[in-house]
Structure 1
């Protein structure tokens, strides 16, 4: 009886932490899609087109777009955009079939969420 009471006082085991998406899982989820992202406070944070070959095109809805690439590094999904030598890395998870990503470059960074929005990527600054 005493043993059962002591066990009741122990903290419950924590649920297994959600696993980060691998590069292959991320690639399978995004390639060929254009995905809109939001934060907890910003309904339209940005939109990104995921092209073949791990290439991307990002816009913050201002009509300007940046081309880049993504790659897996130390369990994160990192993006390197033209004209910006600093990679942007995210701890990326699949939650209820949608991406949730936590910015890894700084502590307590931005968290973004994939939305159901079906918006086009509009780039006013691209030349052919």
Structure 2
């Protein structure tokens, strides 16, 4: 019985140990940085994290939006100017960077921070 219990503890530990980032952890990690994210299918997006929880997002197509981020129910949510619907993510810090799961509606999209990238924001049509 002890062997089974120990085995369950070993295999369950990584899943239980991984907690989403809270607002303070997220802010400490991102503020002042520009981070590029990889989406399923290979597209990317880049976000600059400004002071006072302001952000500027640039899609791969060069569409840029200003917004703010805030914590809500364990998620990190983004509200962009001219879009009243918040975009909420469950954010985890992993050895290779952030992994974020879009929580607004299934099926859930998962994006990954691209390490060692310093892509600039490209804004062909600044919308805000």
Shorter-chain TM-score: what band? 0.7 to 0.9
Structure 1 residues not aligned, in runs of 5+: 1-5
> What residue in structure 2 maps to residue 80 of structure 1?
79
- Write the distance in 1 (CA, Å) between the matches of 2:91 and 2:26: 8
TM-score normalised to structure 2 length: 0.85
After superposition, the CA RMSD in angstroms is: 1.8
> What residue in structure 2 maps to residue 50 of structure 1?
49
The counterpart of 1:12, out of the listed 5, 8, 17, is 8
TM-score normalised to structure 1 length: 0.85
- Write the distance in 1 (CA, Å) between the matches of 2:89 and 2:71: 10
Post-superposition, which runs of at least 4 consecutive aligned residues in structure 1 deviate over 2 A? 6-11, 124-127
Between structure 1 and structure 2, the one with the greater Rg is 1
Q: What secondary structure is seen at the aligned counterpart in 1 of 2:120?
A: coil
> What residue in structure 2 maps to residue 59 of structure 1?
58
Q: Matched residue pairs, number? A: 121
**Shift of residue 107, structure 1, vs aligned partner:** 2.5
**Shift of residue 121, structure 1, vs aligned partner:** 0.7
> What residue in structure 2 maps to residue 3 of structure 1?
none
Larger relative helix fraction: 2
- Write the distance in 2 (CA, Å) between the matches of 1:8 and 1:107: 38
Structure 2 residues not aligned, in runs of 5+: none
